[in-house]
Amino acid sequence: MNFAWMAWTAPTAIFFATIFLILVGMGVWEYARPGGAPRVGILRFETTRGDRLFVSLLGSAFICLAWLGLVGPNLWWALGLSLVYAVLVFRWV
């Protein structure tokens, strides 16, 4: 099987590996503390850990896009901003 057509690069491979590890981590967390810690946060509907992760990831993607569109190509700042955002989401959503 030839996978050259997928055109892997180191950064994208690291990106997907990170996502995969986060998912595994969430699975382990859920296994250790089942139930997903549901609560009603500032979005006024019930969210579990998984929902908060999804909101963090999707939000981060849009933060990065906004950074590229409005500021410039240096995505490290956007990444930092995304991390802050993710922490906020996990704390209050």
Partner 1 sequence: MDRPTNQKAWFLVLPVLLLVAFSAVIPLMTVVNYSVQDTFGNNEFFWAGTAWFEEILHSQRFHEALARNLIFSAIILAIQIPLGIVVALSMPRKGIGVSICLVLMALPLLIPWNVVGTIWQVFGRVDIGLLGHTLEAIGIDYNYVRDPLDAWFTIILMDVWHWTSLVALLCYAGLVSIPEAYYQAARIDGASRWAVFRYIQLPKMNRVLLIAVLLRFMDSFMIYTEPFVVTGGGPGNSTTFLSIDLVKMAVGQFDLGPAAAMSIVYFLVVLLFSWIFYTVMTNFERGGQ
Partner 2 sequence: MSTGATKSIDTGRQPGTPTAASAKARGFVAPPKLRRPRHLGWLVMTLYLIFLLLPIYWLVNMSFKTNVEITNTFSLWPNDPTLRNYRVIFTDPSWYGGYINSITYVVMNTVISIAVALPAAYAFSRYRFLGDKHLFFWLLTNRMAPPAVFALPFFQLYSAFGLIDTHIAVALAHCLFNVPLAVWILEGFMSGVPREIDETAYIDGYSFPRFFVKIFMPLIASGIGVTAFFCFMFSWVELLLARTLTTTAAKPIAAIMTRTVSASGLDWGVLAAAGVLTIIPGALVIWFVRNYIAKGFALGRV
- The 45-84 contact track toward partner 1, x by CB under 8 A, reads xx-------x---x--xx--x--xx---x-x---------
Structure tokens belonging to residue 56? 């963090």
Size of the site for partner 1 (CB under 8 A): 22
| Amino acid letter for position 79 | L
Contacts of residue 84, Cβ cutoff 8 Å, sequence gap at least 6: none
In the complex with partner 1, the residue whose CB is nearer, 25 or 62, is 62
CA pair distance 19, 91, nearest whole angstrom: 20
| Amino acid letter for position 17 | A
Binding site for partner 1 (CB under 8 A): 4-9, 11-12, 15-16, 34, 45-46, 54, 58, 61-62, 65, 68-69, 73, 75
